Amino acid sequence: MIILKPKSEKFFLRHFVANDVKGFYECQQDKWAKKGFMTVPKNLAAAKKEVKYEISQYKKKKPTGESFAIVIDGNFAGYVEVHDLNKKFREHKAKIGYCLHEKFRGQGITADAVKLITKYAFKKYKLKRIAGWCRTFNKASASVLKRSGFKFEGILKNNKCKNGKCLDDMVWAITK
């Protein structure tokens, strides 16, 4: 079990465990999570499948991603992950993703979690680039990336389409 600890004692990061399903599901059910992501788990069974997949990656030599639970007062409060790892010809880069249960938002917790996992992932996977994408309306997410040291690179117009509407994505990245 890998554990990452920030200087502040507000939270720590640890690998997912099977018991995280309910917390993983619940942190993604509010209006902002549903707007911010293309999809969120629709029920506990779907969340269980995702958690199981993430746990299966920890044992792999070349995982597709690595997810950490954000633990506050012993409870699953959200997650932060590096994903899109080890893609052919793109082994040098990855993307970052995160979500925090709405009751813990607005305290700078996610930015601190992103800083921790970014430092960890650059070293572990010998990366040259970690990118964070967020919808242009997602000011909270853009603020997290900015405060975690990511640089704004531009906007991908009409990058995704959801419910018949095309959406623009901001691209942020840290490069080495």
Ligand X SMILES: CC(C)(COP(=O)(O)OP(=O)(O)OC[C@H]1O[C@@H](n2cnc3c(N)ncnc32)[C@H](O)[C@@H]1OP(=O)(O)O)[C@@H](O)C(=O)NCCC(=O)NCCS
Nearer to ligand X, 37 or 122 (CB): 37
CA-wise closest residue to 79 among 26, 130, 136, 145: 26
Considering only 20, 23, 25, 36, the residue that binds ligand X (CB under 6 A) is 36
Least separation in angstroms between residue 135's CB and ligand X is: 7
In the bound complex, what is the minimum distance in angstroms from residue 88's beta carbon to ligand X? 25
Does 32 engage in binding with ligand X (CB under 6 A)?
A: yes
Kindly tell me which of 34 and 126 has the beta carbon lying closer to ligand X.
Answer: 34
Shortest separation between residue 59's beta carbon and ligand X, angstroms: 27
**Least distance (Å) from ligand X to the CB of residue 148?**
9
d(CA 97, CA 131): 9
Strands 129-135 and 93-100: parallel
> Among residues 12 and 91, whose Cβ is nearest to ligand X?
12
By CB neighbour count within 10 A (0-12 exposed, 13-18 middle, 19+ buried), where does 97 fall? buried
According to the binding rule CB under 6 A, does residue 117 interact with ligand X? no
Q: CB under 6 A: which stretch of 8-16, 44-52, 117-125, 136-144 binds ligand X? A: 136-144
Distance, in Å, from the CA atom of 152 to the CA atom of 170, rounded to the nearest integer, reads 8
Q: How far is CA 51 from the centre of its chain?
A: 13
Outline where DSSP puts E strands in the chain.
Answer: 3-4, 12-15, 65-72, 75-83, 93-100, 129-135, 151-162, 165-175
**Positions that interact with ligand X (CB under 6 A):** 32-33, 36-37, 98-100, 105-111, 134, 138, 140-141, 143-144
